[in-house]
Structure 1
Amino acid sequence: MAQRHHDLTDSTAGRAAPPVTGEVLAGYLRGQATEFLRALRLHRETGGGQNVGGQNGSGGGPADAVDATHALRRSARRISGSLHTFRPLLDPGWSEEIRPELAWVSGTLALEHACASRLERLLLALQRLSGATVIPPRTLASGTGAATVTAVPVAGSRKAAPPRAASTAPDRGNLTVGAAKAGALLDRQLTLARTRAHSTALQALGSSRFHAVADKVAVLASEVPLAPHAATADPRPLAAAAEERLADAVAALPLVTAGHPYNAEALIHGLSPDPAPHPQDAPWHQVRLLLRLHRYALEVLHGDDGPHGDDGVLLSAGQALDRHRDASEAAAAAAHAARTPRIAPATAYALGVLHADQRHEVEAARYAFQRSWQKQTVGTTTS
């Protein structure tokens, strides 16, 4: 049976506090809608139409445009996630219409940043593995500053990572020869992907579809279409159900395997020439999504200062799953580059080593998540 980590339905706690009703959800949604509109206004003021993901453009600086885009994604995710968790308290037709549109906005705006972050992560890893400078000057000058937030933990995660199994070290000489060409190949492929994502985001922000979403969010900032019974309904059972779904998904993970310092079976699958996504990754990505929904539900009930995990356990668990997602996608990008026709053997070798390194990072992230989740479970059973 799934185990709750926060008592969201404790009737004794409610005796000393005002009753919790759907108005709590309405207030949260109004606040997030206001944040969305504020971010949209900042995005336009900073010339965000030409600077979606940090590329230089007119208007405000790149950092301002990146902050505005991040704020748009953040509020869109929270509104969409809350509509999913608390949908019985909302007008069903309205919520089912706007929720996928907000997910579309968030996902579209995230693509360019993901490409930039993935490129920097891979280039830094390639440089660390080979000892050679592989980051092209054009990449350094292109302003991928926002990507450094996710790229830095590649090396830093070693401190929290489990010890790796003894294995033959890569041939540093051959790796150095192929690293520069591998880096150049990754730079070409991911920069092209980033440019396409930038164009897609520009088109999305100027589309009638996005304007329709913005109009609905503007209405949401003043009026939330709650269901008729929401005024007296308690949202805590719905938040508890979201927590149960998370706990059930975690229980289904291969934590016993991930608990070992080295998951040889996963690495064997990771080195497979099959271009399909890694078979073990999907359940972990699903847990990441459910953990995010659980955190948003806690924000609805308790605000930003609420119990989001004892000693930041939920936060650290979420960060581990973010690293897992980043490493798995980086490994897939390295594998995709290695399948480029007619590349030199040294280049293919460097990309193979890079792919294996990122799959090791996947295992390290799973191990870190397991440790965080165990702390959460122990804290619950002893409280």
Structure 2
Amino acid sequence: MAQQHLDPTDPVAGPSATGETLAGYLRAQATEFLRALRLHRETGAGGGGGNGTAESADAARALRRSVRRISGSLHTFRPLLEADWSEGLRPELAWLSGTLSMEHGYAARLERLLLALHRLSGAAVFPAQQTGPGAARAGTERGNLTVGAAKAGALLERQLTLARTRAHSTALQALGSSRFHAVADKVAVLASEVPLTPAAAGTGLGPLAAAAEERLVDAVTALPLVTAGSPYNAEALVHGLSPDPAPHPQDGPWHQVRLLLRLHRYAREVLCGEDAPVDVRLLAAGQALDRHRDASEAAAAAASAARTPRIAPATAYALGVLHADQRHEVEAARFAFQQSWQKQAVSTP
């Protein structure tokens, strides 16, 4: 079994896609950025539009979407772009994307954790009909979790709401800063003029897109997919209760695969334009990695809350159960990715 790759001569790889195709894609994404920025100013931060937070959130999401695609394309196809301009803009786009994503990340994390607490403290988790020696033990556990869940939820809400508020302020400050205006000016220029190298106009994009896919395949190959192929391997729980507040050591390679998968998807968009076929298997793999990232960050938030000084034992217990639950979600996401990725493997002639 071998992985199917983009072939520079294959129609899907866009044999006619050249530097001019890349320029058209970047101009379109830059135009989307400017449109989203205008909408964001009108509906949210200082725009005076007063049309509600939902529209402002949509505008911020559109900003992040265009920024990621511009940045990803600059990375994948950097040999076709003026080096000084490209290497100067990419870090600024990464800063902007990260700054704009923080508020949404904290909000999504809080919602995920509160829903998990509600689920874990419900009777469905500990069947009321259980009898025998384990019944009393299960009832005690249910009681401890129910008592601690409310306090754990309140603690998480305080911490993550505060973090979200600070992230919102940081984003507003960033959007009003000279640094952001410099980025916006460069993107505005990009909407009409893309600084390609002299040879880019006649250079095919297929090999560069194929190289992006190769980097993805290599990173996936390095993952423990055999272990992830077992749905209850508990690999994601190893060191899960470590007092070290650093990110979970096992998650980094999976996050890297998520990034490389995104770059691969963007490269396909550049090659195929608006008519790019939707690869449902690739989509499923990406969704699994998104869930992996969300569960990993939620588990870290639960562990961080559990380190709060002088919390009640029942609160700490509930947060420990919540942390373990989210690490199991990490494991489940790895299994889902393994299943979807293996479906992409096809026999080659």
User: Could you say whether these structures have the same fold, taking a TM-score greater than 0.5 normalized by the shorter chain as the test?
Assistant: yes
Q: CA deviation at 1:274?
A: 2.5
Find the counterpart in structure 2 of residue 258 from structure 1.
Answer: 228
Aligned AA for 2:268?
Answer: L
Measured against aligned partners, the alpha-carbon deviations of 1:284-341 in whole angstroms (never above 9, x if no partner) come to: 00000000000000000002331342xx111111010000000000000000000111
Structure 2 matches for 1:89-238, cutoff 5 A? 89-131=80-122, 171-238=141-208
Q: 1 CA distance for matches of 2:51 and 2:61? A: 15
Q: CA deviation at 1:58?
A: 5.9
Question: Are the counterparts in 2 of residues 22 and 235 from structure 1 also a CA contact under 8 Å?
Answer: yes
Question: Are the counterparts in 2 of residues 3 and 247 from structure 1 also a CA contact under 8 Å?
Answer: no
Does residue 322 of structure 2 align to residue 354 of structure 1? Answer: yes
Q: 1 CA distance for matches of 2:36 and 2:45? A: 10
Structure 2 matches for 1:1-383, cutoff 5 A? 4-10=3-9, 13=11, 19-49=16-46, 59-131=50-122, 171-309=141-279, 312-377=280-345, 380-381=346-347
Q: 2 CA distance for matches of 1:178 and 1:7? A: 52
Q: 2 CA distance for matches of 1:38 and 1:258? A: 42
Q: 2 CA distance for matches of 1:367 and 1:195? A: 35
Aligned AA for 1:92?
Answer: A
Q: 2 CA distance for matches of 1:86 and 1:244? A: 14
User: What SS does the corresponding residue of 1:48 show, helix, strand or coil?
Assistant: coil
Question: Are the counterparts in 2 of residues 49 and 205 from structure 1 also a CA contact under 8 Å?
Answer: no
Question: Are the counterparts in 2 of residues 33 and 218 from structure 1 also a CA contact under 8 Å?
Answer: yes
Question: Are the counterparts in 2 of residues 320 and 365 from structure 1 also a CA contact under 8 Å?
Answer: yes
Question: Are the counterparts in 2 of residues 295 and 308 from structure 1 also a CA contact under 8 Å?
Answer: no
Question: Are the counterparts in 1 of residues 117 and 153 from structure 2 also a CA contact under 8 Å?
Answer: yes
Q: 2 CA distance for matches of 1:95 and 1:60? A: 36
| Counterparts in 2 of 1:59 and 1:3: CA distance versus 1, 3 Å | farther
User: What SS does the corresponding residue of 1:304 show, helix, strand or coil?
Assistant: helix
Q: 1 CA distance for matches of 2:18 and 2:145? A: 61
Question: Paired residues, what number?
Answer: 336
| Counterparts in 2 of 1:290 and 1:44: CA distance versus 1, 3 Å | same
Q: 2 CA distance for matches of 1:338 and 1:130? A: 17
Q: 2 CA distance for matches of 1:69 and 1:220? A: 20
Q: 2 CA distance for matches of 1:373 and 1:96? A: 32
Question: Are the counterparts in 2 of residues 4 and 240 from structure 1 also a CA contact under 8 Å?
Answer: no
Question: Are the counterparts in 2 of residues 288 and 322 from structure 1 also a CA contact under 8 Å?
Answer: yes
Q: CA deviation at 1:273?
A: 2.6
Q: 2 CA distance for matches of 1:264 and 1:18? A: 45
The unaligned stretches of length 5 or more in structure 2 are 124-136
Question: Are the counterparts in 1 of residues 4 and 348 from structure 2 also a CA contact under 8 Å?
Answer: no
Q: 1 CA distance for matches of 2:2 and 2:209? A: 14
Measured against aligned partners, the alpha-carbon deviations of 1:103-149 in whole angstroms (never above 9, x if no partner) come to: 111110000010011001001100100029xxxxxxxxxxxxxxxxx
Structure with more relative contact order (C-alpha pairs < 8 Å, separation 6 or more)? 2
| Counterparts in 2 of 1:220 and 1:326: CA distance versus 1, 3 Å | same
Q: 2 CA distance for matches of 1:181 and 1:58? A: 38
User: What SS does the corresponding residue of 2:51 show, helix, strand or coil?
Assistant: coil
Question: Are the counterparts in 1 of residues 236 and 328 from structure 2 also a CA contact under 8 Å?
Answer: no
TM-score (norm 2): 0.91
Q: CA deviation at 1:3?
A: 5.3
TM-score (norm 1): 0.84
Q: 1 CA distance for matches of 2:158 and 2:142? A: 24
Q: 1 CA distance for matches of 2:46 and 2:340? A: 40
Q: CA deviation at 1:382?
A: 6.4
Measured against aligned partners, the alpha-carbon deviations of 1:174-224 in whole angstroms (never above 9, x if no partner) come to: 000100000010011101100110110010000001011111111000000
Aligned AA for 2:102?
Answer: L
Q: CA deviation at 1:20?
A: 2.5
Q: 2 CA distance for matches of 1:104 and 1:77? A: 11
Q: 1 CA distance for matches of 2:169 and 2:35? A: 23
Q: 2 CA distance for matches of 1:18 and 1:173? A: 64
Select between 38-47 and 82-91 the one with higher mean Cα deviation: 38-47
Aligned AA for 1:305?
Answer: D
Aligned AA for 1:339?
Answer: R
Q: CA deviation at 1:266?
A: 2.8
Q: 2 CA distance for matches of 1:104 and 1:73? A: 11
Find the counterpart in structure 2 of residue 156 from structure 1.
Answer: none
Select between 284-293 and 299-308 the one with higher mean Cα deviation: 299-308
**What is the root-mean-square deviation of aligned Cα atoms in Å?**
2.2
